[in-house]
Amino acid sequence: MRTLLLQNPTAGDGSLNVDSLEAALSRSGCLVTSCSRSDETYKTALHDLWDLVAVAGGDGTVAKAARHLCDRGVPLALLPIGTANSVAHSLELLGEAEEIAANLQGAPMRPLDLGSAKGPWGERRFIEAVGIGATAPALKRSDPKPPFEHRIRLGREALCEAIAATAPHRIALTVDGENLDGEFLFVEVLNLRFSGPRLPIAYFAEPGDQMLDIVLLCEDQRQTMLDWVRAAPEETPPPVLVHTGRNVTMAWDGAPLRLDDRVCPPEGGPHLIEIALEQNSLRVLCP
């Protein structure tokens, strides 16, 4: 099985052992060619003919592989070594990277949708979410990165700070033609259950159901949301409004906006943001 291993040597705590991962993949019958996401040639490699693409990294590396993979018929194997690993958690893929790599033979396949967002930047694919409001400033990272073991906690604290400081913002919004305009602290159009610092914001989302989960946080739920983030968010749904749909439009007038982990700079506006899921889903091996 001709396998491309796309790896991010700086993911997680930076302790990636490429040789060990290649050996584990070989036990699944893989003939491995390895490349690093820090080398731009990975984009060309993803256009070659492969039987499998294995991705060793975090959500950013998974998103890069998803955006540039030429043939959707080629399955992916996610080897999560990042910080949040929201994609892997949403697929309930929770094992260690080497354990997953060694057990790909005969593993079941799960679909993973890929979204598309059109705006002043053109058209960009996303795997996690498009959001306006408090979630965007919370993504800004300090440099250098905090120690690995503190990143989830600090990411959740940053989100709480942003939610506490954000004023309600008037957002024009439609979901499958239904008008949902209102004032919100954030609007998140999510493809996954988990997002940001591994929070199940779209608590009941399925990553391969060809539906987007539109999550709205209103002013009257600000404190309840803060309490949820600070407590045990994995155990109960968040205090938000949720709609599902296939096609979403939002008017963006320069409020903080994020596409996956990319924060878009303010633009003159308003601009119409069009969000949908692509018809051909990715396929992920899930031992």
Asked if residue 125 and residue 54 are part of one domain, the reply reads: no
Lowest-pLDDT choice from 9-23, 35-49, 141-155, 243-257 = 141-155
146 with 13, same domain? no
Q: Please tell me whether residues 16 and 147 are part of one structural domain.
A: no
Do 96 and 136 sit in the same domain of this protein? no
pLDDT above 90: percentage of residues in the chain: 80
- Same domain for 42 and 120: no
Evaluate whether residue 286 is within a structural domain: no
Report pLDDT digits (tens) over 101-136: 999 999 999 999 999 999 999 999 999 999 999 999
Residue 95 confidence (pLDDT): 87
- Quick one: 140 and 236 in the same domain? yes
Q: Report which of residues 22 and 142 the model is more confident about.
A: 22
Is the Cβ–Cβ distance between 190 and 242 less than 8 Å?
Answer: no
State the Cα–Cα distance between residues 223 and 35, nearest whole angstrom: 45
pTM: 0.93
pLDDT in tens, 190-205: 999 999 999 999 999 9
Answer whether residue 287 is part of any domain. no
Q: Are 176 and 239 found together in one domain?
A: yes
**Whole-angstrom Cα distance, residue 187 to residue 182?**
10
| 285 domain residue, yes or no | no
Range with top average pLDDT, 10-19, 140-149, 231-240: 231-240
Give mean pLDDT, residues 72-91: 94
Print the domain residue range for 82.
2-107
**DSSP string computed for 137-154:** HHT---SSPPPGGGHHHH
264 plus 142 within the same structural domain? yes
Any domain includes 282? no
Say yes or no: 221 and 175 in one domain. Answer: yes
Q: What is the DSSP string of 166-234?
A: PPPEEE-EEETTEE--EEESEEEEESSS-BTTTB-SSTT--TTSS-EEEEEE-GGGHHHHHHHHHS-TT
Contact (Cβ atoms closer than 8 angstroms) between residue 86 and residue 198? yes
Of 15 and 2, the one with more pLDDT:
2
Does 189 share its domain with 234?
Answer: yes
- Has residue 226 been placed in a domain? yes
Grade residue 159 by pLDDT with cuts at 50, 70 and 90. Answer: very high
Q: How far apart are CA 99 and CA 85, in angstroms?
A: 16
Stronger pLDDT, 253 or 223, i.e. the higher one: 223
Indicate whether 284 belongs to any domain. no
Whether residues 244 and 264 fall in one domain: yes
Number of domain units in the chain: 2
Question: Of 239, 213, 244, 206, which Cα lies nearest the Cα of 224?
Answer: 239
Q: Is residue 283 a part of any domain in this protein?
A: no
6-10, 78-82, 178-182: the lowest-pLDDT one: 6-10
- Of 199, 285, 184, the C-alpha closest to 243 is 184
Give the three-class secondary structure for 78. strand
**Is 166 found in the same domain as 248?**
yes
* pLDDT of res. 141: 57
Q: pLDDT-derived band of residue 30, with 50, 70 and 90 as boundaries? A: very high
Among positive and negative, which fits the CA dihedral 201, 205, 206, 209? Answer: negative
In a domain, 123, yes or no: yes
